[in-house]
Structure 1
Amino acid sequence: MTSPQISALLADLRDAIMGSNLAKCAATDLGIQWAGWALASALRTEKFYDLAGSSTFILLAHLSRIWGGANHIRQKVQSGLVTAWGLRLGTFLFLRILKDGHDRRFNNVRDSPGTFFVYWTIQALWVFMTLLPTLMLNSEKRDVPLGTRDYIGWTIWGLGFATEAVADQQKWLFKRDPDNAGKFIQSGLWAYSRHPNYFGEILQWSGLWLSASSVMTGPQYLSVLSPVFVWFLLSYVSGIPLLEKQAMRKWGSDPAFQNYIKNTPVLWPWPKY
């Protein structure tokens, strides 16, 4: 067997291993979400919906690295950043729903097993699509030295992580203050974007894709759909549209809110002068 033939065989074997790894991750993802649906449907509760999602991110990040059989620095950092994101956001959302007692997204869903199943299945899709660059990276045995894309990507992730964490904390403290009852937040990061937490979320997954792309080839670059998917989901499906409608119902006739809407961008922040 010639050297080119051996190289081609090894490439085919690598692709097969990667495909198997992604398939196992997808099956694990679906299994966890469907098991979560069965339990949540029986109990008629959404209290652990977000916690199950963030936990699946963490689990798949580490399982994909174990199943991929490689242990490069880039893979360790990537999996660690996913873990940090999942621990912070998952804990925050779980504590929030324990305090609030419910999630308004599920007001007409928790008592309908069929519709509830769709929500849990969509969460499985969200996990897999968002995590796809990390799963591809952790399935790749080939390694290249750390470079500019990695450092820029991790910096973008850090900026996004800080933005989301600060925005969540600012809104949490605002809502806990009795003097703010019935008011809307327009201070801190919320003075520059109506949804700065979502802006931070998009930054994080964009940064992780950029770092992971350091070892990508050919069709693997299509995993850029990960940050695009996050942006689309938050901007047009489950995030901003729902919150904007709720806000308009509560404060739509308030001149101060009308001024806030007029002068503050929906997502992408800009400084005010």
Structure 2
Amino acid sequence: MGSALSTPVRELAQGAALDFALQWSLWALAALLKTERFYDLAGNVTFLLLAHLTLRWGRTKYLRQQIQTGLVTLWGLRLGAFLFLRILRAGRDRRFNGIREKPGTFFIFWTIQGVWVFLTLLPTMLLNLEKHNKPLGMRDYLGWSIWAVGFITEAVADQQKWRFQVDSDNRGKFIQSGLWAYSRHPNYLGEILLWLGLFVSASSVFQGAQHICAISPLFVWFMLNYVSGIPVLERQAMKKWGNNFAFQQYLKNTPVLWPMKFKCL
């Protein structure tokens, strides 16, 4: 038992070391250049690297593991390309205003990205390192279905907002059409759902303490809902359109995240 347990722990530690080594090395370059242009891209590349490395380290390559890693790859390639093109178009990311010039504070952001990658990807890494296998079942198909809903939601929301922003007729306006008519942050909703789906599918072979990987979708939900996602964008939107009556109505009638309002009876 000791030998079986030591390998995943050792390899997870190696993955964590590589994760933070990448983030901190790129922080040094970004701080020197005072740019955040490759911040998001670096995070997505790290996701892909760790997913494929753990699949290789695990050596088993069961169908479940291959599908899981493939879904992470599809997500990473799409989102990484989208975020990189977006920062190239915009020139700068407003999240880093007043931060890119402060190396110490900038370092914290890169470190948080390292934590984000490791905790979010934990179910997939553990699955890839798992020697135990079982036939595909309903939990796998349910998880992959949730992932598909989340992936499509995020991709469609990103594309709708991109088209809205590049249209010169919409300059100075806020998007409230498409998926954005049902949620103020449908892209984040999709992100939460797809990582939830990957946990559900991976958990089909988890035992005992391995279920602590449920921290993955919970962490993504907490960070996007309370820390780095929605709060930042909501403050920026209020500063820009807070006195706009149409925006006030949008806030009143459109849920922040989930496309329905839950009311206590």
Are 2:259 and 1:269 equivalent residues in the alignment? yes
1:13-92 mapped onto 2 (5 Å cutoff):
13-92=3-82
What are the superposed Cα offsets for residues 50-69 of structure 1, whole Å, 9 maximum, x if unpaired? 00000000000000111122
Q: Which whole-Å CA distance do the structure 1 matches of 2:102 and 2:82 have between them? A: 26
Aligned match of 1:5: none
| Matched AA of 1:85 | W
What are the superposed Cα offsets for residues 158-186 of structure 1, whole Å, 9 maximum, x if unpaired? 01000000000000000111111111100
| Contact 1:21–1:68 (8 Å) recurs in 2 | no
Q: Report the TM-score, using the length of structure 1 for normalisation.
A: 0.94
| Contact 1:193–1:266 (8 Å) recurs in 2 | yes
Aligned match of 1:219: 209
Are 2:237 and 1:243 equivalent residues in the alignment? no
Q: Which whole-Å CA distance do the structure 2 matches of 1:110 and 1:185 have between them? A: 28
1:81-160 mapped onto 2 (5 Å cutoff):
81-160=71-150
Q: Which whole-Å CA distance do the structure 2 matches of 1:65 and 1:59 have between them? A: 10
**Structure 1 residue ranges without an equivalent (≥5):** 1-10
Q: Which whole-Å CA distance do the structure 1 matches of 2:51 and 2:171 have between them? A: 40
Aligned match of 2:170: 180
Deviation at residue 270 of structure 1 after TM alignment: 3.0
| Matched AA of 2:167 | D
Please, which of 213, 222, 232 is the counterpart of residue 222 of structure 2? 232
What are the superposed Cα offsets for residues 128-163 of structure 1, whole Å, 9 maximum, x if unpaired? 000000011011011011000000100100010000
Q: Which whole-Å CA distance do the structure 2 matches of 1:16 and 1:262 have between them? A: 53
What are the superposed Cα offsets for residues 5-28 of structure 1, whole Å, 9 maximum, x if unpaired? xxxxxx322111110111111001
Moved over 6 A (4+): none
Aligned match of 1:3: none
Q: Which whole-Å CA distance do the structure 1 matches of 2:255 and 2:156 have between them? A: 18
**Structure exhibiting the larger radius of gyration computed from Cα positions:** 1
Aligned match of 1:164: 154
What are the superposed Cα offsets for residues 1-48 of structure 1, whole Å, 9 maximum, x if unpaired? xxxxxxxxxx32211111011111100101110111011111111000
| Matched AA of 2:232 | L
What are the superposed Cα offsets for residues 54-92 of structure 1, whole Å, 9 maximum, x if unpaired? 000000000011112211001100110001111011100
Q: Which whole-Å CA distance do the structure 2 matches of 1:191 and 1:40 have between them? A: 37
| Matched AA of 2:42 | A
Aligned match of 2:184: 194
How many matched pairs?
261
